[in-house]
Amino acid sequence: MRAWRTVSVGLLLAALALMAYWPSMAGPFAYDSVSAIKLNPDFRFDDHALDEWYAAGLSGAAGPSLRPVAMLGFALNAAISGMDAPLAFRLCNLLLHMTNAFLVFLALRALCRCFGSTGGRDKIPVTRHTAISGLAAAIFLLHPIQLTAVVHDVQRMALLATLFQLLALLVFLRGRPGWSASGPGRVRACNDLTWIALLTTLGFFSEEDALL
């Protein structure tokens, strides 16, 4: 039953995202997406050699880290769909935004379980975990502030930073109850903290805001 609810929420979030954002998928590259993506000479590959991918990953100029994770994502998009297909870039952004909303749902449901296990006055009934988390994820998905990140192609940087930080949060929420001072709990804590550090690093090299 729980798996069915999870899948249902994921499908509902995907449907809501398509209905809300599909009308904005058309149109050319605009603003800094033109210089960062369309006119970026490092995204025009000759033979897809390793040095070309290296140059593409370091071709960013938007932040001190050069944001190589995001730039490699743009380069992969360009290699598959070409430089004159903004729709393909936006569809990838939309898919990332859907994924982020689903991760918000999973993280909030894990938080609900934490409060639900306290047994105190603030206990959240198990039957409401999915509804509360799904509603919050839908608000995150459809909030107007998200529009720029989805339809402004270069803002995939923000979407990727959010993705990695949500994954890191989910690792923490799911792993923390199993941590202990000794034995298997210590091993699990080390593993979880390693993953959190790796995901935070990937977020930072997507956009520096990941550290916030």
Per-residue confidence (pLDDT) for residue 12, from 0 to 100: 96
Query: Among candidates 195, 162, 183, 157, which has minimal Cα distance to 71?
Result: 157
d(CA 146, CA 110): 23
pLDDT tens track for 15-71 = 999 999 999 898 888 888 888 888 888 888 888 889 889 898 898 888 888 899 999
Whole-structure pTM value: 0.90
pLDDT tens track for 152-182 = 889 999 999 999 999 999 999 988 878 876 6
Which tokens belong to 94? Answer: 């939309």
Is residue 1 predicted with pLDDT exceeding 60?
no
d(CA 180, CA 162): 29
Is residue 118 predicted with pLDDT exceeding 70?
no
Q: Mean pLDDT across the chain, nearest whole number?
A: 88
Per-residue confidence (pLDDT) for residue 124, from 0 to 100: 65
d(CA 99, CA 163): 8
Cα torsion at 37, 42, 44, 46 (round to 10°)? -160
Is residue 201 predicted with pLDDT exceeding 90?
yes
d(CA 129, CA 110): 9
Q: What value does the mean pLDDT take over residues 184-202?
A: 91
Per-residue confidence (pLDDT) for residue 81, from 0 to 100: 87
Per-residue confidence (pLDDT) for residue 71, from 0 to 100: 92
Confidence of residue 205 (pLDDT cuts 50, 70, 90): very high
Confidence of residue 10 (pLDDT cuts 50, 70, 90): very high
Per-residue confidence (pLDDT) for residue 178, from 0 to 100: 80
